[in-house]
Structure 1
Amino acid sequence: MADKACCAPPRGAQSGLAAPRIAPDPAAHLRNCRPCPGGVALVGTSDPQIPSDCEGPLIQKRVRDLWVEAGTITVAQFRRFVMATGYRTIAEQLGWSFVFFDHLPNRGEGTLGVDGLEWWRKIERATWHDPTGPQGAPASDEMPVTHVAWDDARAFATWAGGRLPKEAEWEHAARGGLGDVRYPWGDDEPSDTNAKHLNIWQGEFPVHDTGGDGFTGPAPALAYQPNGYGLYQMVGNVWEWSAEPFRVRGASREARQINAAARGQKLLKGGSFLCHRSYCYRYRIAARTGNTPDSTSAHTGFRVVYDHAP
């Protein structure tokens, strides 16, 4: 169960590009956030499903009060940032990004794929505003912004007066006050025919998504019901960049090997619309993955947290 089948591959060679310095803009007025009370946060799980990701053990950390964006940052929010700053994302600078093949004409026939992950296609000029490339439909305002690298996410967060969340903060927010649960709504497993809480894959990956949750691609950022803290889609839909590097706890030989292999990667949380229990069971709160900070894809976005009330 649960290899990295749906997770986006890294760029073949790290680009060396980095975001320009962006100053906070007090006039941004972008916040659509909810209060998240501090306290003792639960991080990880005592029932890991993907041991190689080092999801366990379940530990406690103290976190402060936060204000968390209700959803992942939307296309409309990101557009305001770009218009105010002239910012160009790493995908725009490099001229391409990864797109899932079933969202392309003729399933991306004639485009370059990734060895062993052929459903990911290298699409020229796929960007946050043209998520399947210039021949596809432009991004809708209410959708989560995607094709953003870690540096892009951090630049936006700084401009908006916030930051990316730490893993403990993200998990604390995702639990919504419920404690040691597997999902933001509790422990009930989503159904293949009716995943009413989140946007994941139903059917046979990668050939057919039944759309039992209402979508066969990304859903609007504020779709479905929010959790106990008023936060939408903390799992499923799009992966969310965090503030931290991807690393695993512990001093074992395995932990050292994993950390060495993941050197330079950043942590992502939450899973995406391509996750399914049979092969990528990462739409759980404790699930985690990593990728190089310059990597971009059609199922990776971010959420912003703030240390002070709006």
Structure 2
Amino acid sequence: MTMCTGRTRRRALAGAWFCLLAWIMTPVAAVAGEMITIPGGVGRMGSDTGLPDERPAHDIEVQSFRLDRSPVTVADFAAFIRATGRETDAERLEGGAVMSFGTGQWRLVPGATWRTPYGPQRPEAQVDHPVTQVSHSDAEAYCRWRDKRLPTEKEWEFAARAGQDGEPVYAFGDRLLREGEYLANVWTGIFPVLNTAEDGFKTTSPVGAFGTTPIGLTDMAGNVWEWTSSAYAPYGTDTPQADDPAAPRVQRGGSYLCDPKLCHGFRVSARGHATPDSAHMHVGFRCAADILN
């Protein structure tokens, strides 16, 4: 896949046509139903050098399963809404969570929904970007509509590490930059005061814009956090029951708001969490499916 990152776009005007042509010719990665088979096995989960809730690192066993190649896009989610008429939680609760650039403060913005994730006065979501402002319940409903389910946290991390030896830092390897080019959509600059967009994007990016992991998945680091089906608790403590509707749910993968100098949430072992009814401008999801014998 041709990658046109921020550095490329800042080159001489003579090269601009190449990026435009590459963008036009590159197919949208997240085609509904496009999935990658993740062979099962024994793997590692967590990190002894990560944040407290990532410790201790421990072995896990995962059965083979399938995972969406990319996060669900705005176009995919729009098809779901047209078919089902679902009112999302952000629409029902009359708003979603939006962070103010410059202050880092979060607030509930009326009218911030999957269509207008930063509020009704801001541009609409782009169709080839990951859908955001969707709650855990919205994500579950979409996956059911596709005859799928959300991945477990264990499956998500196993897939992020798949195809690599040892204990990689990221789903794409151990370095964030390759030959000066960013390999993920993350915060560049000084959080939350300045986002320099050195990676090419200040908010979400088109799915697949930064290439694939060794096993063929896109956007497993940065761009948007992704809901999992797992209830959240620090490792080694009692985990709330997954059927508890109030239990916070784990999010994985980090987002464009993750600063490598701070949360560093796009590492393979990094964890986020939120209540199931919450919707945020930097959280999306992808679906998984069992492999039937």
Q: If the TM-score is normalised by the length of the shorter chain, which range does it land in?
A: 0.7 to 0.9
Q: Alignment identity in percent?
A: 37
Q: Which residue of 1 aligns with 2:247?
A: 264
Distance 1:277 1:147, change over 3 A: same
Query: Which sections of structure 2, spanning at least 5 residues, go unmatched?
Result: 1-30, 241-245
Q: Which residue of 2 aligns with 1:292?
A: 275
Q: CA deviation at 1:83?
A: 0.6
Aligned 1:91-170 pairs, distance under 5 A: 91-102=90-101, 118-170=104-156
Q: CA deviation at 1:195?
A: 5.4
Q: CA deviation at 1:143?
A: 0.6
For residues 43 and 66 of structure 2, the distance between their equivalents in structure 1, rounded to whole angstroms, comes to 15
Q: CA deviation at 1:248?
A: 1.8
Query: Which sections of structure 1, spanning at least 5 residues, go unmatched?
Result: 1-28, 108-116
2:291 aligned partner, one-letter code: H
Q: Of 136, 148, 161, which residue of structure 2 is paired with 1:175?
A: 161
For residues 223 and 306 of structure 1, the distance between their equivalents in structure 2, rounded to whole angstroms, comes to 24
Query: Which ranges of 4 or more aligned residues in structure 1 deviate by more than 4 Å?
Result: none
Q: Which residue of 1 aligns with 2:18?
A: none
Does residue 66 of structure 2 align to residue 67 of structure 1? yes
CA contact (8 A) 1:41 1:169 kept: no
Query: Secondary structure of 1:170's partner?
Result: helix
CA contact (8 A) 1:217 1:273 kept: yes
Aligned 1:226-305 pairs, distance under 5 A: 226-250=212-236, 255=237, 264-305=247-288
CA contact (8 A) 2:69 2:218 kept: yes
2:123 aligned partner, one-letter code: A
2:290 aligned partner, one-letter code: D
Query: Secondary structure of 1:68's partner?
Result: strand
Query: Secondary structure of 1:140's partner?
Result: coil
TM-score w.r.t. structure 2 length? 0.82
CA contact (8 A) 2:36 2:69 kept: yes
Q: How many residues are aligned here?
A: 256
Q: CA deviation at 1:101?
A: 2.0
Query: Secondary structure of 2:173's partner?
Result: coil
Query: Secondary structure of 2:54's partner?
Result: coil
Q: Encode CA deviations 1:62-114: one digit per residue, 9 max, x unaligned.
A: 21222111111000110111111111100001111112323xxxx8xxxxxxx
For residues 259 and 104 of structure 2, the distance between their equivalents in structure 1, rounded to whole angstroms, comes to 18
Q: Which residue of 2 aligns with 1:35?
A: 37
Distance 1:88 1:211, change over 3 A: same
1:281 aligned partner, one-letter code: H
